Amino acid sequence: MQDEGIKEIICVVEIKSDDDHEEVTRAKEKAGKEHFELLNKRLLNINSFNLPEEFRNSTSQHYIFDLLRPEFYNRWFANLKIGNLKV
């Protein structure tokens, strides 16, 4: 990612409970992933010189979206601890 100019990874996590409805959760997960994929593509293709100076550093960010369910808490945090993020 560094060779693409990425300097910062921002992990966005939505926490779900056991009571959340599976079909709604899947739709939210799909929409969240699509949103951040589109945002990452836009950030890679933007010319930061066309932005006001205070926003130029934010073009070197990459976003990761995870929808976290209780059964995956331990594994997710163990992976986060060792820097193993799904990018």
pLDDT of residue 64: 94
Residues 17-59: tens digit of each pLDDT: 878 777 888 888 999 999 999 999 999 888 888 888 888 888 8
DSSP class of residue 54 equals: G
Residue extents of the structural domains in the chain: 2-81
**In the chain, at which residue ranges do the beta strands (DSSP E only) sit?**
8-15, 61-68
Q: Which of 35, 23, 38, 29 is nearest to 72 (CA)?
A: 29
| Between 85 and 2, the higher pLDDT residue | 85
